[in-house]
């Protein structure tokens, strides 16, 4: 998220400043404040069940000390490549431009007057609705008036605890629950929360607006026919409590994937 610094009210101090000497003026100036932040530079997803093949992601930023992702480069296990360029308009992410093996596609993002994403339109369009505190309450696939949609519940940390498929407001019996650790997510300081991308189904669509303050360590899918599937996520952290390695396991079956992250430290001057 982009943080804005409120202007300082100075009119009440005008007469004080005009009576000060030049040396006093120098003393009154505040030194710039430097803040160090950690952002990811790459991510790899290895699949042990498929002969240890892996997909590799690298992340580019608008400049060397920026938290705003400008491009994602992907090399897939079959050596095919994709680049996804992020397009911004007045600080808002408005478009993804994807180039996959020479073929281009575009995903458009629309906002409301409160700068909340209301629709994501690519190959599969989604429409988003919110509650009064700005958390996504539902994601409607395909068309805005679709009777079948996803609803979301949250804990006090504003992390999603339940995703449920509803039809005309009634439960279909298919829902997913989420449990979390208490550590930093890899993309905590980045403007797009891509740590959920390609791993957590419909949750990947919520990455733009949601806080998702902690890492998911268990996902349980409950299906209408009574079947249950669970995944666990075991983390290794660095000294700053950011994940460097994640083992995703399908309970009762074995390891599904191993995710690794690399980071860099940037300096933000305010």
**What tens digit of pLDDT does each residue of 163-203 get?**
899 999 999 999 999 899 999 989 899 988 775 544 545 55
| pLDDT for residue 235 is more than 70 | yes
Instruction: Give the residue among 124, 127, 209, 121 at the shortest CA–CA distance from 160.
Output: 209
Say if residues 31 and 22 touch (Cβ distance below 8 Å). Answer: no
Q: How many domains does the chain have?
A: 1
Q: What is the DSSP letter of 190?
A: S
Q: How confident is the model at residue 210 (pLDDT cuts 50, 70, 90)?
A: low
Output b/e per residue, 152-168; b: 16+ Cβ within 10 A: bebeeeebbeebbbbee
Q: Which residues contact 239 (CB under 8 A, 6 or more apart)?
A: none
Would you say residue 132 lies in a domain? Answer: yes
Q: How far apart are CA 97 and CA 84, in angstroms?
A: 5
C-beta neighbour count of 252 within 10 angstroms = 7
Residue with tokens 């209408």: 224
Note the pTM of the prediction, 2 decimals: 0.82
Residue 2 lies in a domain: no
Is 135 in contact with 155 (CB distance < 8 Å)? no
Rounded to an integer, what distance in angstroms lies between the CA atom of residue 249 and that of residue 231?
Answer: 5
CATH number of the domain enclosing 257: 2.40.160
Cα distance between residue 209 and residue 12, in whole Å: 38
| C-beta of residue 201 within 8 angstroms of C-beta of residue 176 | yes
Domain range enclosing 225:
11-269
Spacing of C-alpha 219 from chain mean position: 17
Structure-token pair, residue 124: 């599969």
pLDDT digits (tens, 9 = 90+) for 92-122: 999 999 999 999 999 999 999 998 889 989 8
Question: Per-residue pLDDT averaged across 210-226, rounded?
Answer: 85
Output the pLDDT for position 202.
52
Residue 3 lies in a domain: no
Would 167 be classed as within a structural domain? yes
Domain membership of residue 4 (yes or no) is no
Strand partners, 43: 57, 261
The answer to the question of residue 174 being in a domain is yes
3 state DSSP class of 17: helix
Percent of the chain predicted with pLDDT > 70: 82
Q: Is the residue at 109 inside a domain?
A: yes
């Amino acid at each position: 998220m982009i943080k804005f610094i409120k202007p300082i009210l100075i009119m009440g101090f005008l007469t004080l400043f005009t009576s000060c000497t030049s040396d006093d003026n120098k003393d009154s100036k505040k030194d710039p404040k430097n803040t160090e932040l950690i952002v990811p530079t790459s991510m790899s997803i290895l699949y042990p069940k498929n002969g240890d093949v892996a997909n590799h992601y690298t992340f580019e930023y608008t400049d060397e000390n920026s938290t705003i992702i400008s491009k994602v480069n992907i090399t897939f296990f079959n050596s095919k490549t994709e680049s996804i360029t992020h397009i911004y308009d007045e600080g808002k992410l408005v478009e993804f431009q994807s180039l996959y093996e020479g073929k281009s596609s575009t995903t458009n993002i629309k906002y409301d007057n409160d700068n909340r994403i209301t629709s994501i339109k690519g190959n599969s369009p989604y429409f988003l609705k919110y509650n009064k505190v700005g958390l996504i309450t539902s994601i409607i696939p395909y068309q805005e008036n679709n009777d079948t949609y996803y609803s979301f519940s949250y804990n006090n940390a504003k992390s999603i605890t339940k995703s449920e498929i509803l039809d005309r407001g009634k439960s279909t019996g298919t829902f997913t629950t989420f449990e979390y650790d208490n550590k930093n997510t890899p993309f905590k300081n980045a403007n797009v929360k891509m740590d959920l991308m390609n791993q957590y189904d419909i949750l990947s669509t919520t990455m733009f607006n949601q806080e998702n303050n902690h890492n998911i360590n268990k996902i349980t899918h409950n299906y209408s026919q009574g079947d249950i599937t669970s995944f666990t996520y075991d983390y290794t952290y660095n000294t700053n409590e950011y994940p460097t390695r994640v083992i995703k396991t399908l309970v009762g079956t074995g390891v599904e994937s191993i995710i690794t992250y690399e980071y860099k430290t940037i300096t933000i001057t305010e």
